[in-house]
Chain A
Amino acid sequence: MGFLSIREVSLAIQGHMILDHVSFDVNQGEVVGLIGPNGSGKTTLFNLLSGFLAPTGGSIHFRGSDITNCSPSVRAQKGIGRVFQNFGIFRDMTLEENILVALEALPHEQKKLLGDMKFLVHRTLAMVGLEKSAKKKAGALSGGQMRLLEIARTLKCGKDLFLLDEPTAGVSPKMTGQVSGLIAELKREGKTVLIIEHDLPFIGRICDRVIVLDVGKVVLEGTPDEVKQSKELQEIYFGADPTT
């Protein structure tokens, strides 16, 4: 059984199959891309993994234990971190507070190992070059800066599995490089990452493996190169008659 294993997970809402018997494993230290057209169920799958939705069938195991029925906060304490498509930062709180509140929410035994919180907050902000804005409201940041802040926060909170929902959405091209650099940093630190992304070159640069989702089903799985060259992907994204 993998680090994260998803077994036959289904979600039906009012008779519609949003996810249809989805199964795949993610190994520790792996960076896996999750792609597929809009409405294919990618974000829904993330919501099932973070615990905001409960599957109507199947099970989810994380590090060998069944977390299918755990609450979001319990999953977070077990080490699952999430970066939201719509920026999961607290806009009316300062950057400092944004990091602090995350550190304070850690389980007791982990908090004891942190040492000086102030120092840790400073280091986390410095990692993404935002230490000078520590007292500013997070809502005043640019999209790219928000994303960096959120990833850095998740990284420093001792999370082991990262669910990144479109980390480049709303980020200027200039900052995209910085974001992918940070994800590479996650990989170096041995973290496991699951990324939803539309930017295929971006996926190609950083992912070990890619899973393609369409209409709630896993239709393709392989290395970025394999997937890029497959006919199915072309059909899913551009229809049956590709123009490129």
Chain B
Amino acid sequence: MEQLLINGLIAGSLAALIAGGLALVYGVLGIFNLALGQMVLLGGYAVWWLHQSVGLTLPVSIVGGLLMAGGLTWVTFEVFIAPFYKRHRFLPLVTTIALGMILDAAMLLFFEARPRSILSNGKNIMDIGGVRLSVEQVYLVVLTVLLLCVFAYVLHSTPFGRRIRAVVQHSHAAMSLGIRASVLHRVIFILSGVLAACGGIFIGIDQNLTPVLAFPITIKAYAAIIAGGKGNFWGAIVCAYLIALLEQLVIGIEWFGRFYIPAGYQQSVALLFIIVFLLCRPSGLFSFKNRTA
């Protein structure tokens, strides 16, 4: 059981990184970015390339990879989002699908189809009271939680974070106060790209990178933000962990001491989660009625 919780924590940390950025983008711009999974993978590949091919040290590669991811997301915003999202918020849905296909092909071209792992030597396993996990996983989970803490601080205790929250909650009012929403839109989109790249690095270290992972990643992130409530950053994070934990429990537990659920159903958990939420709480897990007329 402890092992399942730890497994959920590992998988959840990965999902949280990706879903968090997506929630911000959805909350602020109201748009769907369907090339998210590809951005995740590109971040991982960039670090793999810098570390394994160029030969930089891992920390330098990670910083470099994140910078590259940030740059790429910026270009993405200017070319695929900015010209469209003010006309209709569904237009980026189409343009980002196109972008996703372009990136899929680009990854095959530059990184080939063979799987890549960022670390060349295997993992160092440890055993803590019957729970087994690798040193790398401990790092990844701790860094993710740290990153989320930094985000929490920025979002809730700095002028910049206040501005973001203001734009999320009432963009017209924020603009009428002199907040430059268009600049914030760019910053937030780039931030989501960088967070996604962190997810890619996570995958590249904990598992391995293959160019076709993108779509399932996107789906899971969307499950988390739908369940977490529209544009609710913390809701999305909590739901990402929740879905990951459920996925582990569903197949890891001997239900009622009698049977196991076949592993093939594991991936349906996220989708089932969306459906249940849309039926029971369409506005998400973390939206409370606080409107008084």
Write the residues of chain A forming the contact surface with B, with a CB cutoff of 8 angstroms: 50-52, 71-73, 76-77, 80-82, 84, 88-93, 97, 100-102, 104-107, 137, 139-143, 150, 153, 157, 170
Contacts and interface: CB of A to CB of B under 8 A. Distances in A.
22 contacts: A72-B172, A73-B181, A76-B176, A76-B177, A82-B172, A82-B173, A84-B173, A89-B170, A90-B166, A91-B170, A91-B291, A92-B169, A93-B166, A93-B169, A100-B159, A100-B162, A101-B166, A104-B162, A142-B292, A157-B177, A157-B178, A170-B293
B57 to A, nearest CB: 39
A107 B180 CA distance: 11
A101 to B, nearest CB: 4
A153 B162 CA distance: 15
Interface of B (DSSP majority class) = helix
Task: Determine which residue in B165, B173, B178, B291 has the highest number of CB atoms from chain A within 10 A of its CB, and name it.
Answer: B178
B230 interface: no
B121 to A, nearest CB: 46
Contacts of A107: 178
Contact of B169 (A51, A73, A91): A91
A73 B290 contact: no
Given A51-B175, A90-B165, A105-B163, 8 more contacts: A71-B175, A71-B182, A76-B178, A82-B172, A101-B174, A104-B159, A105-B178, A140-B292
A141 B176 CA distance: 21
Contacts of A90: 165-166, 169-170, 173-174
A93 B165 contact: yes
Contacts of A91: 169-170, 290-291
A100 B173 CA distance: 14
B162 A93 contact: yes
Contacts of B169: 90-93
Nearest to A145: B292
B249 interface: no
B97 interface: no
B176 A72 contact: yes
B5 interface: no
B119 interface: no
Contacts of A157: 177-178
B103 interface: no
Interface string B150-189: 0000000001001101100110111111111110000000
A91 B165 CA distance: 10
Q: Which 10 pairs of residues, A with B, have the shortest CB-CB distance?
A: A88-B173, A76-B178, A72-B175, A139-B290, A82-B176, A105-B178, A90-B169, A101-B162, A104-B159, A73-B180
Contacts of B163: 101, 104-105
A89 to B, nearest CB: 7
A97 B169 CA distance: 13
A141 B293 CA distance: 10
A106 B178 contact: yes
Contacts of B180: 71, 73
A6 B166 CA distance: 30
Contacts of B173: 82, 84, 88-90, 150
B170 A88 contact: yes
A82 B171 CA distance: 13
Nearest to A104: B159
A160 to B, nearest CB: 13
A91 B287 CA distance: 12
Contacts of A142: 292
